[in-house]
């Protein structure tokens, strides 16, 4: 699946040919999608049909992979999603890919050990760190969660 990355600054579109390319070559050090030409902030528009026949339209604004005990071949990652090209990310979309190309296999979106992505404490803390820095969550939100427990 390819990812056409469109720049909010210069309007140019560069395509990432698969998820590893998108994460490696079209993000800054914080996971934000950026333009390969001018470095401006960018997005990938996606539209999916939901199981109830509706449409989920969103703008992928960031892609953040997570290290796990399963090494480099099985990689959970999140998309930071907004609902307009320049909007701040509001949702975190969990995904997973398997890159078996180094062993002569293929790259695919799959399910890791046990089915869904497996997150330990380190991944959860990393997720919270990104959610804070991308303002998906505020410190106030986290304090409210901690206080309610």
Tokens of 131: 């959610």
Dihedrals φ, ψ of 126, to 5°? -65, -40
B/e letters for 73-84, b = 16+ CB within 10 Å, e = fewer, are ebbbbbbbbbee
CB under 5 A: which stretch of 32-40, 50-58, 64-72, 129-137 binds Zn ion? Answer: 32-40
| Closest separation in Å from C-beta 26 to Zn ion | 11
**Closest separation in Å from C-beta 14 to Zn ion:** 9
Q: At closest approach, how far in Å is the CB of 1 from Zn ion?
A: 22
Site string for Zn ion, 40-59 (x = CB under 5 A): x-------------------
| Residue nearer to Zn ion on the CB measure, 35 or 44 | 35
Residue 85 is a binding residue for Zn ion (CB under 5 A): no
Residues 6+ apart with CB under 8 A from 137: 128, 131
Binding to Zn ion by residue 5, rule CB under 5 A? Answer: no
Smallest separation (angstroms) from Zn ion to the CB of 85? 13
Query: For residue 79, which of 99, 54, 102, 97 has the smallest C-alpha distance?
Result: 97
122 is a contact residue toward Zn ion (CB under 5 A): no
Taking the C-alpha atoms of residue 130 and residue 146, their distance in angstroms, rounded to an integer, is 18
Q: For binding to Zn ion (CB under 5 A), which residues are involved?
A: 7, 9-10, 35, 37-38, 40
């Amino acid at each position: 699946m390819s990812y056409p990355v469109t720049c909010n600054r210069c309007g140019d579109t560069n395509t990432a040919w698969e998820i590893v390319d998108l994460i490696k070559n079209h993000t800054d050090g914080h996971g934000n999608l950026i333009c390969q030409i001018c470095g401006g902030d960018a997005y990938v528009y996606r539209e999916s049909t939901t199981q109830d026949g509706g449409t989920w339209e969103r703008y992928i604004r960031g892609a953040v992979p997570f290290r796990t005990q399963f090494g480099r071949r099985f990689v959970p990652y999140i998309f930071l999603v907004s609902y307009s090209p320049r909007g701040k990310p509001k949702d975190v979309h969990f995904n997973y890919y398997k890159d078996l190309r180094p062993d002569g296999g293929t790259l695919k979106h799959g399910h890791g050990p046990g089915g869904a992505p497996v997150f330990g404490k380190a991944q959860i803390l990393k997720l919270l760190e990104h959610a804070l820095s991308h303002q998906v969550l505020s410190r106030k939100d986290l304090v409210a969660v901690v206080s309610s427990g």
